[in-house]
Amino acid sequence: MLGNLRPTEIVLILVVILLLFGAKKLPDMARSLGKSARILKSEAKAMKKDDEAAKTAETPTTASAPADPAPQAAPRTIQAAPGDVTSSRPVTEPNRTAQS
């Protein structure tokens, strides 16, 4: 559907968006969209890394000595932009339990 758009239709859509939101709000909207995309990308990477770590942890070990429990890691935080600490928040992970 989007591949069928001609240049005049794209310009018309952009003009309507400009009229609806105004020229002052468009940069803010684009900035927040970029931040959301960065957050989504970083969380997808973190989930992939967690899955890979879980798969390697599930493989049986041949060592006869019992393994030490893993040290507790600091809670992860999500940051909207590098260096932007005002919008960072801790990630709650209810599935993980504390190991003593």
Over residues 32-71, the pLDDT tens digits come to 999 999 999 999 999 998 888 888 877 655 554 555 555 6
Q: Is the pLDDT of residue 100 over 50?
A: no
pLDDT at position 43 is 93
Q: pLDDT-based confidence at 9, cuts 50/70/90?
A: very high
Query: Among residues 88, 57, 92, which one has the least CA distance to residue 75?
Result: 92
Q: How far apart are CA 91 and CA 83, in angstroms?
A: 17
d(CA 67, CA 64): 9
Determine what percent of the chain is predicted with pLDDT higher than 90: 23
Amino acid at 100: S
Mean pLDDT of all residues in 68-87:
60
**Residue 70 CA, distance from chain mean position:** 25
Phi/psi at 57 (5° precision): -75, -25
Q: Which pLDDT belongs to residue 99?
A: 52
